[in-house]
Amino acid sequence: MKKTVDFIKPAAILLVVAAVVALVLGGVNMLTEDTIARNNQEKVESAMQAVLPAASYEQLEAPEGIDALYEAAGGGWVVQVTKSGSQGNVTMMVGVDTDLKCTGISITASSETAGLGAIASQQSTAGEAFRSQFVGLASPVAVTKDGGQINALTGATITSRAVSSGVTAALDACANLG
C-alpha cells in the first residue's frame, strides 16, 4: 500500500505541472498567432513584389503540384511552389510574365545546408547571382549537369536542381492556364 501512495503523489505533481505548462503555452499561442500570421502574410507579399511587382494580386485556384497561384494586376502570375532539396523542402515564389518567362525568384523557406544550399536563399552576392540566372528563362529550366542553362551552386547540386524544378513547375502551371 505504501508503494502505491509513493507513486500517486509524484504523478499528481507531474500532472499539475504539465497542466500549468499547457495553459501557459496555449496563452502564448493565442497572444502571438495574429502577429505570426501577419508577419507570414507580409513575407509572402514582399516575395511577390520582388519577383513580379504589381499593384495587386488575385489568388487563383492552384493546379496540382503548386502551393498557390496569383494573377498580377497588369499581367503575369506569381506562383508559390515547394520542391524537395537536399535537407528538406525549398519553398519559393516565381514570377512569370505573359510571355511565359521567369521574371525572378524569391526563396521564402529552406532548410538547406549552411554555406552550401542555403546560399540559394541568402541576400548575398552568390545568392543573388544564382537566382538572377533564372530571369528571362522559359520552361524547361535545368542545371548544366542535366543539359540546362543554370550553373549549380558549388556543393549544392541537389538544391540547384530543386530550384530549377520549381521554376519549371511554375512556368508550366502558367502555360496550362490557357
More confident residue, 4 or 176: 176
Q: Closest by alpha carbon to 114, among 92, 133, 86, 139?
A: 86
Q: How many CB atoms lie within 10 A of CB 11?
A: 10
Residue % of the chain over a pLDDT of 70: 97
pLDDT tens sequence across 111-138: 777 777 777 887 888 889 999 999 999 9
| pLDDT value for 131 | 92
Residue 142: per-residue pLDDT: 92
- For the stretch 88-106, pLDDT in tens is 899 999 999 999 999 999 9
So what's the pLDDT on residue 160?
92
- The pTM score is 0.77
Per the document, the length of the chain is 178
Task: Convert the pLDDT of each residue in 78-90 to its tens digit.
Answer: 999 999 888 889 9
pLDDT tens digits for 32-52? 888 888 888 788 888 888 999
Mean pLDDT of 53-57: 92
Q: Could you read off the pLDDT of 155-175 as tens digits, one per residue? A: 888 899 999 999 999 999 999
